[in-house]
Amino acid sequence: MDRSALSQTITHSSMLAAMDVALVAARRGIRGANPLVGAAVLDADGTLVTGHHRGAGTPHAEADAMSAARAAGIDLTRATVFVTLEPCSHHGRTGPCADLLVDAGVPHVVIAVADPNPAAAGGAARLRAAGTTVTTGVREAEARAVNARWLRAVGERRPYVTLKIAQSLDGRIAAADGTSQWITSPASRARVHALRARVDAVLVGTGTAHADDPRLTARPTPEAVQSPDAGERSAAGTGSQAGAGPEAGADSEAGAGSAPASPLPFTQPVPVAWGMRDLAPGSHLARDPRTVHLRTRDPHEALETLHAQGIQHVLVEGGAHVAGALIRSDLVDELEVHIAPVLLGDGLPGLADLGVTTLSEAVRWLPDDTTGDALLTEACVPSAPSSDADIHSAPSSDADAHSAGTATSPPASQDARNPDTLLRFIPDTRHSHPTAHTKDS
């Protein structure tokens, strides 16, 4: 059936305005394996409702916006749907959005940017074949900018990379003697466990593997996996290996001090060790049959190997050398920095071998402007002396990586007195790093 006769007549400026609203909705999502996508439904009388994608397994933006439209009493057979990314045409966890739009009888779909993912692309053609009017390229540059790094990761056939650094005010990730547990607060560590619960893999260098014997499992609080911030997979209920990682559920939990009462519906991330050295026999990572050991120092090769294993989003938790190597190669798509209000002086810097020798070579970042992943920025206040003692007295035997372990935690009250500052950044693409894109040997 040719639905185009039912299309509204919309001026170009109205199209731009509606797509702008969809782009604002897109920024309410969270970055990761999936792109940020927003949608807007424009009624014949000018009413506009929006929707957005909240993470893997949750309704796509078009479906979310159409639900809102139905709830608002909008007749979809006379509406125009604006979407910031081409509707998918594949059967993923949620079914093809192109089919949803066709089935709903939407006569006109306006798309900002085509989907570069071959598995999902083809939605525009599917819509046209069904008689839907399709307009493409509206606010394309803006839509590309929202997902610039995701688009690049897909194009480079590598995982999307989130780097997390837990550091002191003076940029140290460990004290001079190597102790680093815990620099950051229980709240920061709980957040990292929630982040681990929505990535495909968690990576550390062999230096950190030897120093800390981490497990790299996700041990989020039930509250954390129920929030959009952390719960992409839990919201979907798709975790086929719920709590299935080694020792999952056996740990005393995630920094915040409360153990989950029952296995949580998320998939444990794949633990990854990166470097040429063997893992210590008997270490957590050596004993975990799922551990992937990347025996290379080439960041591109490391990420290509992970991509070939189906890993679409990797969380890098350090240490300084692997973090530096990834940034130097311009392979970090998102940077999350947890800054604890402590000073460590002659400790270990958070990044090694960045290759910056003069200010003009600085690697520049922009604050992430998405709003879906709650950003906690707190002013630091001088803390009571006891909190220093808390940090340094944590036992090292029950090690895990820095902001995400199970060792004795500072008392929860420290959090309120002494909050960390959490900052999220994306690369500033206006300044490319001079040594980026070169392959490490």
Please tell me whether residue 325 binds ligand NAP under the rule CB under 6 A. Answer: yes
Q: Quick one: tokens of 58? A: 């949750």
Instruction: Answer yes or no: 62 catalytic.
Output: yes
Stretch that binds ligand NAP, among 73-81, 137-145, 191-199, 205-213 (CB under 6 A): 205-213
Please tell me whether residue 195 binds ligand NAP under the rule CB under 6 A. Answer: no
Whole-number minimum distance, CB 183 to ligand NAP, in Å? 6
d(CA 2, CA 195): 45
Whole-number minimum distance, CB 208 to ligand NAP, in Å? 3
Q: Respond yes or no on whether the N-terminal peptide bond of residue 182 is cis (omega within 30° of 0).
A: yes
Q: Looking only at residues 336 through 365 of this chain, which bind ligand NAP when binding is defined by CB under 6 A?
A: 348, 352
Question: In the chain, what is the straight-line distance between the N-terminal and C-terminal CA atoms, in Å?
Answer: 58
**Position 58, amino acid:** T
Q: Looking only at residues 302 through 321 of this chain, which bind ligand NAP when binding is defined by CB under 6 A?
A: 317-321
Stretch that binds ligand NAP, among 21-29, 90-98, 116-124, 395-403 (CB under 6 A): 395-403
Q: Quick one: tokens of 244? A: 């299935």
d(CA 436, CA 335): 16
Q: What is the chain's Cα-based Rg?
A: 23
- Distance (Å) of CA 431 to CA 222, 292, 355, 360, 362: 40, 33, 15, 10, 9
d(CA 61, CA 50): 8
- Print the binding letters for residues 403-422 with ligand NAP: x by CB under 6 A, - otherwise: x-------------------
Please tell me whether residue 234 binds ligand NAP under the rule CB under 6 A. Answer: no
For residue 144, which of 124, 121, 114, 118 has the smallest C-alpha distance?
Answer: 114
Whole-number minimum distance, CB 410 to ligand NAP, in Å? 15
Please tell me whether residue 19 binds ligand NAP under the rule CB under 6 A. Answer: no
Q: Looking only at residues 41 through 70 of this chain, which bind ligand NAP when binding is defined by CB under 6 A?
A: none
Please tell me whether residue 433 binds ligand NAP under the rule CB under 6 A. Answer: no
Q: Which of 38, 207, 245, 271 binds ligand NAP (CB under 6 A)?
A: 207
- Distance (Å) of CA 418 to CA 220, 249, 347, 390, 414: 22, 29, 21, 12, 6
Q: Which of 402, 409, 415, 420 binds ligand NAP (CB under 6 A)?
A: 402
Helix 320-328 / helix 299-308 crossing angle, nearest 10 deg: 90
Please tell me whether residue 183 binds ligand NAP under the rule CB under 6 A. Answer: yes
Q: Which residues make beta-bridge pairs with 195?
A: none
Q: What residues contact residue 40 under an 8 Å CB cut-off, 6+ apart?
A: 18, 19, 21, 22, 25, 48, 49, 50, 51, 65, 81, 82
For residue 419, which of 92, 185, 119 has the smallest C-alpha distance?
Answer: 185
d(CA 113, CA 11): 19
For residue 315, which of 99, 74, 123, 33 has the smallest C-alpha distance?
Answer: 33
Cβ proximity to ligand NAP: between 262 and 397 the closer is 397
The catalytic residue among 62, 317, 334, 336 is: 62
Whole-number minimum distance, CB 119 to ligand NAP, in Å? 30
Whole-number minimum distance, CB 66 to ligand NAP, in Å? 42
Q: Which residues make beta-bridge pairs with 314?
A: 161, 201
Whole-number minimum distance, CB 64 to ligand NAP, in Å? 35
Please tell me whether residue 300 binds ligand NAP under the rule CB under 6 A. Answer: no
Cβ proximity to ligand NAP: between 372 and 419 the closer is 419
Cβ proximity to ligand NAP: between 333 and 336 the closer is 336
Whole-number minimum distance, CB 381 to ligand NAP, in Å? 22
**Residues belonging to the active site:** 62
| Site for ligand NAP, rule CB under 6 A | 165-167, 173-174, 178, 180, 183, 204-208, 211-212, 274-277, 297, 299, 317-322, 325, 348, 352, 401-403, 440
